[in-house]
Amino acid sequence: MRTAAARLGALASVALLSACAPVATPERMPAPAPPSPAASTSPPPPACSPEGIRITELGVSAAMGLRAMGLELVNCGNRPYVLRGYPAPSLRDADGDPLTVKVIPGARPITSGFDQPPDRIVLRPGERAGAALLWRNLVTDSTVVASNAAHLDVAPLPGRPAHPVELDGPIDLGNTGRLGVSAWRRYDGPAATQPPAPTGPPSTAPTPDSRL
């Protein structure tokens, strides 16, 4: 009996020591690395063309159906670039098909204030020139489908290569089928990065030659 009691006491002591022994903790895993930032989805700036220029949109001003879109031409080449005249735009729909549009140098049938004749401009590398596209969002004939251009190509002058210009929104011509252009003007400061405003208030009705 004494031997059995001694064995029970020894077992109880071992169990008590086991209960009081520190429990091993698992090795701590390293903290996960923070996720790397996502790549920027902003489109890269347009590349310099083979003739050494870059044409971009500067935004659109709108009032009473009249739209004025600013264009900027930068001499990104390494030699002087000569301009005298008007940009030559062409429009395409969402499918990339050309739209029939009458381009009006000076925009007189559309609005006043953009009729200054062109000057000869010599842009040195890094210098800029500005112009504007003018149109009205008018529907004068319900039987004619309105035109909305999703793509714009601009040649710096008629006969020179055209360059695609990224748009912030469609060019909503209604069914007027007309697009005015102002002559290129040199500018040097940030104040000219907005499309020029017409000198007179825009009319809300089409001009008599609206079918031109």
- Quote the pLDDT of residue 43: 58
Distance CA 58, CA 71 (A): 6
Phi, psi of 49 (to 5 degrees): -75, 165
> Which ranges of 83-155 would DSSP assign to H, the alpha helix?
none
Point out the residues of the chain with pLDDT beneath 70.
Answer: 1-45, 64, 189-212
Domains of the chain: 53-192 (2.60.40)
- Report the pLDDT value the prediction gives residue 206, as an integer from 0 to 100: 37
Say if CB 78 and CB 84 are below 8 A apart.
Answer: no
Alpha-carbon 197 to chain mean position: 21
**Calpha distance 91→84 (Å, rounded):** 22
Tell me the per-residue pLDDT of 189-205, one tens digit each, with 9 for 90 and over: 543 444 444 443 333 33
- Tens-digit pLDDT profile for residues 13-23: 433 334 444 44
- pLDDT recorded at residue 44: 64
